Amino acid sequence: MSELSTKCLIIGSGPAGYTAGIYTSRANLSPIMVDGRQPGGQLITTTDVENFPGYPEGIAGPQMMEDFRAQALRFGLKTVSGEVSEVDFSKRPFIVTINGGSQYIMADTIIIATGATAKYLGLPDEQKYMGLGVSACATCDGFFYRNRPVAVVGGGDTACEEAEYLSHLASKVYMIVRKDYLRASKYMQKRVLENDKIEVLFNTNTLSLFGENGLEGAHLIRHRGSEMEEEFDIAIDGFFLAIGHTPNTAIFGDALTLDEQGYIVTQGKSTATNIAGVFAAGDVADPSYQQAISAAGSGCRAALDAERFLMLNDN
């Protein structure tokens, strides 16, 4: 068992975490980062990123996160490989347990940047075609499907918004809705149902995806389990999941205030949580935007909030 101590511990290594690492390092807070189960966050599974400023030709997601990491390490960020298994926020310095007790870190402040995980249907083909047609972010990847047919899975506001967005890029948009109605607001339902480029497939589930060198289509079933059950295929190049995200907050739930969806609630316009000295940045506290650029911005804010907190509370 080993012990470390720091003025600022960063939990999570996506855009928010590494940006916080850059700012806290430059502020001489000697930060330590626990990089988590998937170092680099969701962008590690993204092929091309074209909407992040500073990369005019676009960049592969893993390479962009390597650039983030290199910049943070340049200023002195120290990283610890592993996952946080337990936290004690009852008093400062806080105590964080790593990898089931093999290591402990004592921290005067903590920035939580553990992100959120997109919900998938659980089909083996989703992983097979990840980055080759399957995506959980239309805003991120829709540009690659200009004048090509795509499908959006889901029937809520997010799904309708993504279908509407994609309709301005794709040649056709299918909405795969397992119920016989849309759960979205009346306004969004109207926009979708009146859009000539969107076809809503009600009472429909996805059985599998297919394609040789990338996604080419989906096997669907309509009215499953009923006398009207039928299987059919649609030809698509893109398959977008819009059934929600799960914030990675399970180990913090007993200590931090979460909203109904499990996202960390922050105080006013700051990144402060309900526990003094603990801050949240990125998708873990953002059910609305969930973009790399907004996550990076909140990582900056969390670092500045942590620095100010230490200035005001430590002698």
Which residues are the active-site residues?
Answer: 137, 140-141
What is the full DSSP assignment across the chain?
A: -EEEEEEEEEE--SHHHHHHHHHHHHTT---EEE--SSTTGGGGG-SEE-SSTT-TT-EEHHHHHHHHHHHHHHTT-EEE-S-EEEEE-SSSSEEEEEGGGTEEEEEEEEEE---EEE-----HHHHHTBTTTEES-HHHHGGGGTTSEEEEE--SHHHHHHHHHHHTTSSEEEEE-SSSS--S-HHHHHHHHT-TTEEEETTEEEEEEE-SSS--EEEEEESTTSTT-EEEEEE-SEEEE-S-EEES-GGGTTTS-B-TTSPBP--TTS-B-SSTTEEE-GGGG-SS---HHHHHHHHHHHHHHHHHHHHHH--
